[in-house]
Chains A and B, each alone.
Chain A
Amino acid sequence: MSCTETNGSLLLDRYAEVTGREVIHHLQQLAAPLKGAKVVHVNSTREGGGVAEILQKLIPLKRALGIDASWEVIQGSPTFYECTKGFHNGLQGMRSPILKQLLAEYEKVNAENAEELRSTLEEADFVVIHDPQPAPLLSHCPERRGRWLWRCHIDASHPYRPVWKYLRQWVIPYDASIFSIPQFAQALPHPQYIVAPSIDPLSEKNRDLPLEELHTVRERFKLDPDLPMMLQVSRYDRFKDPLGVVQACQLAGKLTPLQLVLAGGGATDDPEGEAVLEEVRQAAAGDSRIQVLLLPADAHHTINALQRTADIVLQKSIREGFGLTVAEAMWKGKPVIGGDTGGIRLQVFDHYTGFLVRTPEGAALRIRYLLHRRELLKEMGRRAQRFVGENFLITRHLREYLTMLLGLQSGTQGRMELGL
């Protein structure tokens, strides 16, 4: 057995400890017909944000199953990222017309990246392009031999039409698209798979932590041990509504003492983050119960400890592709008060795993509700943890990817019987 195979086997053993051996055995059998297949993922950032986090874990797991998986990252200019941030906002419904010179830069950057990546992409059996940033790469690979998939991680349920109309031209030639929930799927002339994202239970952000490390993080951020702690973890992005979270906690705090921690980092492909962060700092200025943290992209351990320390986790997004932070918090046994939107609805069920809210007032109400019913809060947390364990771990995500690749290999038939 080679060193790579040994490492892969050890990795699978570690997952088996969390998920059960049967889950890993199932994946191994499903992956057998894909052994040796070249699968290339392409996105626009190596660190920061949910996509990068998923790829960091998905690639080694695929390799452990014998698939020749790799990950390429395109390089862009500030103007390119300004354009793709506009796409992101536009797909999420913000009316944000994009200037022609930005679109020209978008196309130029993709053409340049294609020069670097063409041979890798053209010889792959499967290419998975993540989000709009690298979408035009396909048009620069005329000799491609594999199947190409466009993976949309964004809440594209009600896109700003001019933006979608522009992007659609790049997406149409793909062999298939992948959306996180059915509501995000668009009218496209190819199969559209529905695959929800996932979290990795073994990652630094999700692994179990000893109690001493939670004490350490409390001391580091000078958290008051006598006050219940609310937490929102997310980039400083308007769609995550950090200002709404500040307002909700200030409203609830008038009647029920509490403290709030907003913890976020920047993604290298998000140029708006600093402006939003400054607005949040101003909203929280003078309120000693609110801490606004700007954490580095690799602060996974700190995020883990903060999530485990919190009493309630908020994700009060106005639009949300999926909301990995929701699954992360639930995996740690925390009820989540989430925005009634997008993929959060797939995870949070009113009165069972948390609450869905539409306003800061709604979030404030549910914070007070839970803080006055401690047993219910714990019970919701237990349900949330079980729910994520059964549905949103990376092993389920990988199972669906493998099934999809087998489906693409076999055509569009509804039922495939392998070796029976």
Chain B
Amino acid sequence: MSESTVDPVEATPFAVRDCALISLATGLKAQNLREFSDILQRVPLESIEHHLWGRLLQPRFDEPEYNNDFASWAYHGLHDKTLAERLSMVVPTDFADQEALRQELVEVLEERLDQCEMVPWAKKDQQFHFLRSQIVVFDSGLRFSRPVDLIPYLAHLSTGSVYYHFIDARNRTTDRCDDFSAWLAGCGPAYQPLRERLCGVDPYFSSLQNLRQIVSALFQSFFEEAAQ
């Protein structure tokens, strides 16, 4: 492996960052699908981001039937399984930007409204409350020059770091993937298999604690295989 890797001195060290998130009410709430679609068209983009990703850093049950808050409400609040299934398959990284993502979500909602004889509605205690979040990003101070050096540390990443490097990164990186694989791209072709494995992880069905285990295990197994 050493022949095809970049000299650690030449590679930019991996800077571990961390983040924390706090939820805020937007004051917007929907009790039926018509209201929901109308609000979604004007809600701040950061609210959409919160309900698709930010929820991972919030207290929540970690065995969801659906992988975002919109789909979850469609099922549990509106009891519309068809809509829940469609919303859960809107993949954020398929869209060039968040405005395009919003338009696709609205398209799914409007299509469903066209199909319904009556507007699906929720009970008053099952309204959808649109939230947004404030996120604080900070530098942990940790730097790693070689990928192998990350191994002992990955299992102890804070959930904030997991979120920043594995979820938030999908909005920041060229490949719409995670920071680890973006960094590995600069470390030489030998790390391509590890990059592919990391990019193959579906981050939307796991808690951040589970994601940490998965990433740690991928690094571990990659280097064990390389050693053999």
B partners with A? yes
Tell me the A residues contacting B by CB distance below 8 Å: 20-23, 25-26, 29-30, 157, 179, 182-183, 185, 187, 191-196, 341, 346, 349, 352-353, 387, 390-392, 396, 399-400, 402-404, 406-407, 412-420
A414–B139 contact, CB under 8 A? no
Jot down 24 A-B pairs with beta carbons below 8 A, ordered by A.
Answer: A22-B156, A22-B157, A23-B158, A26-B158, A30-B138, A182-B23, A183-B127, A185-B27, A193-B25, A194-B25, A194-B131, A195-B23, A341-B125, A349-B61, A352-B61, A390-B62, A390-B209, A399-B20, A400-B20, A403-B134, A413-B134, A415-B137, A416-B137, A417-B136
> Within the complex, what minimum Cβ distance (angstroms) separates A292 from chain B?
31
A157 to B23 Cα, complex, angstroms = 17
| Chain A nearest CB, measured from B126 CB (Å) | 9
Any A CB within 8 A of the CB of B17: yes
Residues of A within 8 A of B156 (CB): 20-22
Question: What CA separation (Å) do A162 and B127 show in the bound complex?
Answer: 23
Residues of A within 8 Å of B23, CB to CB, are 182, 193-195
B136: which of A191, A193, A352, A403 is its contact (CB, 8 Å)?
A403
Q: Which of B21, B62, B125 contacts A387 (CB 8 A)?
A: B62
Give the B interface residue count (CB, 8 A): 35
B134 near A391: Cβ-Cβ < 8 Å: no
* Complex Cα gap A21–B158 (Å): 9
Query: How many Å lie between the Cα of A390 and that of B209 in the bound state?
Result: 8
List 7 extra interface pairs beyond A390-B62, A407-B134, CB under 8 A.
Answer: A182-B25, A191-B24, A195-B23, A387-B62, A400-B20, A403-B22, A416-B137
Determine if B200 is an interface residue (Cβ-Cβ < 8 Å).
no
Residues of chain A with a CB closer than 8 A to B139's CB: 418-420
Chain B residues contacting A413 (CB-CB under 8 Å) are 134
CB distance from B49 to the nearest CB of A (A): 9
B173 at the binding interface (Cβ < 8 Å): no
Query: Is B12 among interface residues, defined by CB-CB distance under 8 A?
Result: no
Q: Is B92 an interface residue (CB 8 A)?
A: no
Q: Is the CB of A26 within 8 A of B18?
A: yes
Docked complex Cα distance between A417 and B135 (Å)? 8
Complex formed: what's the CA distance from A402 to B60 in Å? 20
Q: A415-B137, A420-B17 are in contact. Are A407 and B22 (CB under 8 A)?
A: yes
The answer for the CA separation of A353 and B138 in the assembled complex, in Å, is 35
Complex CA–CA separation, A399 to B46 (angstroms): 21
In chain B between 17 and 52, which residues have their CB closer than 8 angstroms to a CB of chain A?
17-18, 20-25, 27, 44, 46
Using known A-B contacts A352-B61, A387-B62, A402-B20, determine if residue A420 contacts B137 with beta carbons closer than 8 Å. Answer: yes
Return the chain A residue nearest B45 by Cβ.
A414
The interface residues of chain A lying within 8 Å CB-to-CB of B59 are 196, 346, 391-392, 396
Best-surrounded residue of B63, B135, B136 (most CB of chain A within 10 A): B136
B181 near A: Cβ within 8 Å?
no
Q: Tell me the minimal C-beta distance from B51 to chain A in angstroms.
A: 11
| A26, B61: Cβ atoms closer than 8 Å | no
Query: Which B128-156 residues sit within 8 Å CB-CB of chain A?
Result: 129, 131-140, 156
Query: Among the listed B22, B136, B157, which residue makes an inter-chain contact with A418, where contact means beta carbons less than 8 Å apart?
Result: B136
For residue B160, which residue of chain A has the nearest CB?
Answer: A26
B67 contact set on A, CB distance < 8 A:
none
The reply to whether the CB of B207 lies closer than 8 angstroms to some CB of chain A is yes
Most buried by B among A26, A196, A418: A26
Report how far A157 CA is from B140 CA in the complex, Å. 39
Pair B131/A416 contact, Cβ less than 8 Å: no
Q: Which residues of B contact A187 (CB under 8 A)?
A: 27
Min Cβ gap A4→B in Å is 25
Contact across chains for B138 and A414 when beta carbons are under 8 A apart: no
| Nearest CB on B from A283, distance (A) | 28
Question: Given A400-B22, A402-B20, A404-B22, does the pair A387, B135 have CB atoms closer than 8 Å?
Answer: no
On chain B, the residues within 8 Å of A399 by CB distance are: 20
A193 to B132, CA, bound (A): 10
**How does the 8 Å CB contact mask read for B156-167 relative to A, with 1 for contact and 0 for none?**
111010000000
Contact of A192 with B22 at beta-carbon distance under 8 Å, contacts A391-B60, A414-B135 already known? no
A392 CB contacts on chain B under 8 angstroms: 59
**B contact residues around A419 at 8 Å (CB):** 138-139
Contact flags B188-228 to A (C-beta < 8 A → 1, else 0): 00000000000000000001010000000000000000000
B22 and A195 within 8 A (CB): yes
Partner of B135, one of A396, A402, A416: A416
Which residues of B sit under 8 angstroms from A403, Cβ to Cβ?
20-22, 134, 136
The answer to whether A193 touches B22, judged by C-beta atoms less than 8 angstroms apart, is yes
Cβ of B124 to closest chain A Cβ, rounded Å? 8
Give B20 Cβ to nearest chain A Cβ, in Å: 4
Q: How many Å lie between the Cα of A412 and that of B25 in the bound state?
A: 12
Question: Taking A22-B156, A22-B158, A387-B61 as contacts, is the C-beta distance between A29 and B24 under 8 angstroms?
Answer: no
A194 to B157 CA separation, bound complex (whole angstroms): 25
A417 touches B157 (CB 8 A): no
Instruction: For residue B64, give the distance in angstroms from its CB to the closest CB of chain A.
Output: 10
Q: Do the beta carbons of B129 and A185 come within 8 Å of each other?
A: yes
Cα distance A417–B124 when bound, in Å?
38
Query: Which residue, A349, A390, A396, has most C-beta atoms of chain B within 10 A?
Result: A390
Enumerate the 4 nearest inter-chain pairs by beta-carbon distance, A residue then B residue, closest first: A182-B129, A391-B59, A185-B25, A26-B158
In the complex, chain A residues whose CB is within 8 Å of the CB of B132: 414
Contact between B18 and A29, CB atoms less than 8 A apart: yes
* Closest chain B CB from A306 CB (angstroms): 26
Are B134's CB and A416's CB within 8 A?
yes
Check B137 against A417 for contact (C-beta < 8 Å).
Answer: yes
Question: How far apart are B25's CB and chain A's nearest CB, in angstroms?
Answer: 4
Within the assembled complex, what's the spacing in Å between the Cα atoms of A30 and B22? 13
Q: Mark B56-99, 1 if CB is under 8 A from A, else 0.
A: 00011111000000000000000000000000000000000000
Q: Which residues of A contact B157 (CB under 8 A)?
A: 22
Chain A neighbourhood of B20, CB < 8 A:
26, 30, 399-400, 402-403
